[in-house]
A = this chain, B = another copy of it.
Amino acid sequence: MSNDLRGLNDLDRLIHEPARLLIVTILSTAASADFLFLQREAGLTKGNLSAHLSKLEEAGYVKIEKTFKGKLPLTVCKLTAKGQKAYTAYRQQMQAFMDKTS
């Protein structure tokens, strides 16, 4: 016993948040995704997706480019190297937890 689980306490909260974990997961397999695709895929409202993306961008986990598709706004999101790394680390910690407690 005396299993060391305290690692959980330093999970990256930015990624731990389910909505953002979802976003980052989608981005990690997509190379690039636009706002509406993310919205559909993640099942979030525009408002909440917008807020979460801002947070991820602020952290440097996601790069956001606003352009146009024809005449309509188009917001394209990409996971940065930093974001990819944080995501990988998160998964490692979480899987380690699952394994230690299986």
Contacts and interface: CB of A to CB of B under 8 A. Distances in A.
B94 A43 contact: no
A51 B42 CA distance: 32
A43 B7 CA distance: 10
B98 A42 contact: no
- How many copies of this protein are present in the complex? 2
A22 interface: yes
A8 interface: yes
Interface in A8-30: 8-9, 11, 16, 18-19, 21-22, 25-26, 29
A41 B6 CA distance: 8
B94 A6 contact: no
A63 interface: no
